[in-house]
């Protein structure tokens, strides 16, 4: 097995990383880790609700533990994982650099207001926060604003990686033209482009409420057992025949997403404005679409 990986998707959360992983997983030249989010380089768990301030035990595992998540890879395949929690974790950039200095990074960013609201719905569905309004949540939990300070987080990455090592994508453009977006990724990774007429069939991470936390934990423990028992190929097979989708359907119920009110959107846009302006200069792009 290879001793290094080729690319990491660093986020942002709720900005298409699961969708990207599902499409890349189908490419014959690419192996995506099991699970897609290894969460090896973040020092802390997601800083919200019950997980706030809790250290990530994966961070202290050795490299062989990490590489085991790619044991199902075929010879010659590129290895990659996508853990959106890496974007805002302060220790992740240096931790990645120390292990894999030449790795390529993929970052896909979404309107920070829409992303914050989507993350709120996810956390509510997963019972990480109580059933409170979005307005209450952004007052009680700093993660919804902090995670959206993209320029601040990417400045830390640019201290350790070059611009050429980072593929910068805009979620809204990706949704509008997924073929162009995925071709950008394939070119960045140096693999052959593939033709796909139904990219949206791979999007499986809509906000939903778990029916059973016990069932979710059992599935997670089963997947970890498979990985640690050198049976990642079994997980790959189960995914290929659609078991993951069936399980998600059985153990989830739709969340009434609603929308953030205009006054809340305007408040958040004001908070994010300076960071967005800085981001435009850092990557020489126009993000005026995010003001709407």
pLDDT in tens, 227-248: 666 666 666 666 666 555 555 5
pLDDT confidence band for 45 (50 / 70 / 90): very high
| Percent of all residues in the chain with a pLDDT value above 90, rounded to a whole number | 66
pLDDT confidence band for 174 (50 / 70 / 90): very high
The better pLDDT of the pair 132, 202 is held by 132
- Asked whether the predicted pLDDT for residue 198 surpasses 90, the reply is no
Provide CB contacts within 8 A for 28, sequence distance 6+.
Answer: 77
Mean pLDDT of the chain: 86
Ranges 22-26, 47-51, 175-179: which has the least confidence: 47-51
Mean pLDDT, residues 154-162: 97
- Residue 219: the pLDDT is 58
**Helical H segments across 40-131, by residue range:** 63-67, 92-99, 112-125
- Asked whether the predicted pLDDT for residue 271 surpasses 80, the reply is yes
Provide CB contacts within 8 A for 55, sequence distance 6+.
Answer: 43, 44, 45
- Residue 204: the pLDDT is 56
pLDDT confidence band for 256 (50 / 70 / 90): low
- Residue 49: the pLDDT is 87
240 token code pair:
């290929």
Statement: the pTM of the whole predicted model exceeds 0.75:
yes
pLDDT confidence band for 159 (50 / 70 / 90): very high
| Percent of all residues in the chain with a pLDDT value above 70, rounded to a whole number | 78
Instruction: Tell me if 37 sits within 8 A of 81, measured CB to CB.
Output: yes
CA distance 121 to 116: 9
Long-range (24+ apart) CB contacts under 8 A made by 51-55 are 51/128, 52/141
Identify the residue whose tokens are 């739709």. Answer: 254
Ranges 29-38, 62-71, 74-83, 195-204: which has the least confidence: 195-204
The better pLDDT of the pair 161, 244 is held by 161
- Residue 33: the pLDDT is 94
Mind listing the domains of the chain with CATH numbers? 7-207+255-291 (3.40.50.300)
pLDDT in tens, 55-71: 999 999 999 999 999 99
- Residue 146: the pLDDT is 97
Count of alpha carbons within 13 angstroms of residue 228, beta-carbon side: 7
Mean pLDDT, residues 8-19: 95
pLDDT in tens, 211-222: 556 665 555 566
pLDDT in tens, 112-136: 999 999 999 999 888 889 889 999 9
Provide CB contacts within 8 A for 38, sequence distance 6+.
Answer: 58, 66, 69, 81, 83
- Asked whether the predicted pLDDT for residue 16 surpasses 90, the reply is yes
């Amino acid at each position: 097995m290879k001793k290094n990986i080729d690319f990491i998707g660093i986020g942002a959360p709720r900005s298409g990383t699961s969708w990207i992983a599902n499409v890349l997983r189908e490419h014959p030249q690419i192996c995506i880790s099991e699970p897609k989010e290894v969460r090896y380089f973040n020092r802390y768990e997601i800083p919200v609700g019950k997980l706030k301030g809790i250290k990530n035990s994966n961070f202290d595992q050795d490299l062989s533990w990490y590489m085991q998540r790619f044991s199902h890879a075929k010879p010659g395949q590129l290895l990659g994982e996508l853990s959106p929690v890496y974007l805002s974790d302060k220790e992740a950039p240096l931790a990645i650099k120390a292990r894999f200095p030449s790795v390529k990074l993929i970052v896909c960013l979404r309107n920070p207001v829409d992303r914050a609201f989507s993350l709120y719905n996810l956390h509510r569905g997963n019972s990480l926060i109580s059933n409170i309004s979005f307005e209450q949540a952004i007052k009680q939990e700093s993660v919804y604003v902090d995670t959206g300070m993209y320029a601040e987080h990417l400045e830390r990455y640019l201290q350790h990686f070059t611009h050429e090592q980072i593929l910068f994508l805009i979620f809204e453009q990706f949704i509008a033209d997924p073929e162009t977006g995925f071709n950008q990724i394939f070119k960045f990774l140096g693999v052959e482009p593939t033709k796909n007429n139904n990219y949206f069939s791979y999007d499986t991470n809509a906000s939903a409420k778990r029916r059973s936390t016990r069932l979710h934990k059992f599935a997670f423990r089963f997947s970890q057992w498979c990985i640690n028992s050198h049976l990642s190929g079994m997980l790959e097979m189960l995914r290929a025949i659609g078991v993951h989708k069936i399980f998600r359907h059985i153990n989830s119920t739709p969340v009434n997403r609603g929308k953030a009110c205009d006054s809340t959107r305007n408040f958040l846009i004001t908070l994010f404005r300076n960071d967005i302006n800085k981001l435009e200069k850092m990557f020489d792009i126009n993000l005026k679409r995010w003001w709407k």
